[in-house]
Chain A
Amino acid sequence: MQFDQTSIAIRERSSLEIFDLAANVLVRNIQPIMILLFLNAAPLALLDYYLINWMTDVSFSYELSIAYYFAMLALIVSQAQLGTCLITIFMGRVMFLQEHSIGAVMKDFLKRLPYFLFSQGILRLALFAVCAAWITAPKDSEEAQLLAYLGLPAITFFGLLVRGMRPFVPEVIYLEQTPLKSKNDLPSLSQRSRNLHMLAAGAISMHFVLILIFAPLLLFAVHSIFVMLDSMFSIRANSQISLQPIYVLFSAWMVAGFFAVVRFLTYIDVRIRQEGWSVDLKFRVENTLLHQSKES
């Protein structure tokens, strides 16, 4: 691997430095990342909206409209990694200076789609959450509230538990091209994932805690931008209540997109530490310099 041929400098960083860098990387690549996020998350968001939109009917029940936000956020949290696979692939290509057009990213995504669906949809329970929402909708108020306040959060929690312990599976699937079953001395996805995550328990815990802290803050901040823009363009003090579900949906997916970048950079940082990429890079550079000085 050419560590000097990367778009992001190879160095060890603290968890907060990774968050800072992710903000910078996101802004530099905002256009492709937003397009890919839209392409990846829009089908999931539309599906979620179709399944639980009936809860937004305030005239039916006010409590139900609050239940909608719970249900929607739970669905987005459970689908966050599945809905940001394209960003992971894009970041991998950008990082190692490969062609990162949408076509190239989509091609890679389709190649690895079964892996993503298996690891995220089934093992991380994202598809189970969708099924739960589909079975319940559209039913009466009590069942909806049961789903929103108990069913979906429970599924999301267990999915999150698996994901929290092994967050870098999308990166392992794409960047390391690990097969599902071990073959030709190559470790299987599960073996590789276990090895990688066991050695990086500290970094993963910190990553998880920081996400728990910053995710609600960022969601609030991004949502406030939508509300502010709504107020500005509609020239009224308060934003339109009917658009609030859309704003929350957009905000939550944008935050999920940001955390996909954070996760990718954390994965790279874990590899840098575990495999000494930064030292490797320094030695390559020094070797070149010694070679040059001898020639001159």
Chain B
Amino acid sequence: MAVADSTNLKIAKSAKLAPLKPGIAYNQVDNAFRLTTPENISFEYQLAGPFRRVFPYVLDLLVIVVAYAALVFLYWLFALLVGGLFAFMGVFEVTEFIVAIGSAMGWIMLFLAYWFYGAYMETYYNGRTVGKMISNLRVLSTDGHAIDGVQATLRNFFRGIDLMPLVPVGGLLELSELPPQVAIPTGVFGLIAMSISPRFQRLGDLVAGTMVVNEDDSRDPHVQTFADSRVPQLAEAIPSSFYVSNSLAKAVAAYADHRDQLGIARSGEIASKLAGKLCEEFGLPSNTDSDLLICSLYYKIFVGQAPEESSAPDLPFPSAPPRGRYEPSPSLAVMLDPDSIDAGRPADPIVPVAHPIDISTNPEHE
């Protein structure tokens, strides 16, 4: 029992983030983070934790190694040509000088690339390195703004500590001739820091006040089409005065996105949890097919808005602000301000309850 109490206490204490869903009082563990701007606009970020950040880091290391190898190769060609020419002329001092300069430059370049590649890329490419670009990650300030040069430099300088402890290769493979500086980073310090932090911040992130977010929108719902001709007809029956909140629009979009995978019975069961209340709101008969009703509401919210668009565009859900102060796009503003969902459309008359279409069953869904 003592364990149970202490565990609950820990969850309650460590869960500093606001619950993400209305109606949920319990502080849930999640890898999402909601940020509310001074303009009272909320953004939900998917945070990137230790395991998600391993592959971008490895990719960045590869970029550094490849770039360094390319530079070394180019210099080697230069040294071969120029040094060889001077050696041919018998001026060996110049050849030796070129080799010495090359060696020194090589070490300096390696140092600069390792320590400043991340800082440079994150400063000038809006919180992204090559690895992060490929993995759809971005570094942001904890207040949601783009990071500046100081933050980028700080978080990259502290990477050295995050990668500790180092395991000497000589000790590991029992090769006494290898110096102790040749070591493999384990990253345990960073792993522990990220696991403890509610925003998955490693030590460098904590010092610089940054966090890494995931910008992969491939799982966002896309506009769905319905073969059932009754869907647009029933959509017309939905009163235009009905208040469609942002969360309701998201819920309906999520349903439309999932209904094909769920199967008829399960999707009908889920739809019925909202359909009853919606039927009351819309003044529709209580035996209206739940799935058809939710699809019609979806059509009314998303498809009916832009009937001229033939291709299916991405839904205008808010995503992470790209940089600086965030200004919502017009489509996003529609989503953020539910009152404006029907703005600009002719006011539909409230369709009487008696409909010429049969809405009690949905043949598409059978």
Contacts and interface: CB of A to CB of B under 8 A. Distances in A.
Contacts of B276: 287
Contacts of A196: none
B49 A21 contact: yes
A43 B46 CA distance: 40
A20 B48 contact: yes
Q: Is the interface of A mostly helix, strand, loop or mixed?
A: helix
A157 to B, nearest CB: 25
Contacts of A99: 4
A165 interface: no
Q: For this complex, into which size category does the number of interface residues on chain A fall?
A: 35 or more
Interface string A13-25: 1101101110111
B50 A20 contact: yes
Contacts of B219: 12, 14
B24 interface: yes
Nearest to A210: B51
Given A276-B262, A276-B267, A286-B247, A23 B50 contact: yes
Pick the most buried of A32, A275, A276, A288: most chain B CB atoms within 10 A of its CB.
A276
B188 A221 contact: yes
B187 to A, nearest CB: 6
Contacts of B262: 275-276, 279
Given A17-B52, A100-B7, A8 B247 contact: no
Contacts of A221: 186-188, 191
Contacts of B3: 31-32, 35, 100-102
Contacts of A11: 30, 32
Contact of B247 (A6, A32, A285): A285
A194 interface: no
A24 B273 contact: no
A284 interface: yes
B199 to A, nearest CB: 10
B37 to A, nearest CB: 22
Interface string B98-129: 00000000000000000000000000000000
Interface in B34-70: 46-52, 55
A99 B1 CA distance: 8
A146 interface: no
Contacts of B178: none
A240 to B, nearest CB: 13
A286 B274 contact: yes
A291 B31 contact: no
B51 A19 contact: yes
B274 A283 contact: yes
A17 B22 contact: no
A289 B270 contact: no
B46 A17 contact: yes
Question: Which has the most chain B C-beta neighbours within 10 Å: A5, A279, A283?
Answer: A279
Contact of B165 (A27, A32, A225): A225
Contact of B248 (A13, A225, A286): A286
Interface in B288-334: none
Given A17-B46, A102-B3, A285 B51 contact: no
B229 interface: no
A290 B165 contact: no
B277 A291 contact: yes
Interface string B170-210: 01000000000000101110011011101010000000000
B16 interface: no
Nearest to B28: A9
B270 A9 contact: no
Contacts of A273: 261
24 contacts: A4-B23, A7-B11, A9-B29, A23-B49, A23-B51, A23-B191, A27-B196, A32-B3, A100-B7, A220-B186, A221-B187, A222-B188, A227-B167, A238-B171, A276-B255, A276-B258, A279-B255, A281-B21, A285-B23, A285-B251, A286-B274, A287-B276, A290-B277, A290-B278
